[in-house]
Amino acid sequence: RAKERGKNNFQFYTADMNARAIERLKMEYSLHRALAQNELEVWYQPKVELSSGRIIGAEALLRWRHPDMGLISPAQFIPIAEESSLITSIGEWVLDSSCAAIRRWRDAGLLQGRIAVNVSGRQLKYSSIVDTVACMLERYALPSSALELEITESVAMDEDSGMVEVLHRLQALGIYLSIDDFGTGYSSLSYLKRLPVRGLKIDQSFIMDLHQDRDDAAITQAIISIARSLGLDLVAEGVELDEQRRFLVEQGCHCGQGYLFSKPVPADAFEALLRAQQV
């Protein structure tokens, strides 16, 4: 009987695997369509000066408005895009859309700061991201200082020499590079010496309970002191409470983003926030 059960489990398992493989294929197929039919949108979340709440820039965050499923989070489809070459086309589209928006906001005198775009490991390894970035800056007549690229810590720790070279070429272009989700993956900080990085983003998992968890508070203080010693800028992610904001300011972290200030919003709504700040 055990044997029989084992066999049934096995069949169940393969059926489940097939179902998942089919799900992924469907998702990949509809992502192709999404790109072709303009179902993707870039939303923006303000980065602010924590003492005043003044907007100093923004992070561009991808959204997929699926005709049947509604708004889909990038956490659900970026990993699938990363498994195929789709991530390259999607990445180019996000850069194009973001640079077009930066151009509009600069022309309107609304934005001086940078807009940060997320890039995945695969984009840095297998695509011509340096050429793409150079091309976008030229297309929209933007200085390289208008753009920031965020790479996650897990990607930064990868010692792939091709990727390290790509990061140096982006830095040579004048692009500001920062480490996203900092503190979640490190076993060694030596990559910070190897990479031309200018800023760190403290992962939101430390900020979340900062005001009530001594370990999270201690880790955040340690990250702030690492950044200070190495001369790196800091942004705290996921600031939701005023207590968290106050702690960060007291400890010397002056920039942040989070629901306390604004959720990510569509481009029009971000523009309205910039306008409101002008008056």
Note the residues at the interface with Mg ion (CB under 5 A).
118, 150, 180-181, 237
Report, in Å, the least distance between residue 274 CB and Mg ion. 20
Strand 55-66 to strand 40-49: parallel, antiparallel, or no bridges (unpaired)?
Answer: antiparallel
Q: Which helix (H) or strand (E) holds 149?
A: strand 147-152
Q: How far is CA 198 from each of CA 34, 228, 231, rounded to the nearest angstrom?
A: 34, 12, 8
Report, in Å, the least distance between residue 61 CB and ligand C2E. 4
Report, in Å, the least distance between residue 8 CB and Mg ion. 39
Interface residues for ligand C2E in 17-46 (CB under 6 A)? Answer: 45
- Quick one: 50 or 239, whose CB is closer to ligand C2E? 239
Could you give the dihedral angle defined by the CA atoms of residues 218, 224, 225 and 228, in that order, rounded to the nearest 10 degrees? Answer: 180
Binding status of residue 113 toward ligand C2E by CB under 6 A? no
- Quick one: 16 or 209, whose CB is closer to ligand C2E? 209
Binder of ligand C2E out of 32, 56, 74, 198 (CB under 6 A) = 74
Give start and end residues of each alpha helix (H) in the chain.
Answer: 2-36, 74-82, 86-107, 121-126, 129-139, 153-156, 161-173, 191-194, 204-207, 214-230, 242-251, 267-278
Interface residues for ligand C2E in 218-257 (CB under 6 A)? Answer: 237-240, 257
What does 238 interact with, of Mg ion, ligand C2E, none (CB < 5 to 8 A by kind)? Answer: ligand C2E
Q: Give the interface with ligand C2E as residue ranges (CB under 6 A).
A: 45, 61-62, 73-75, 78, 94, 118-120, 150, 180-181, 204, 237-240, 257-259, 264
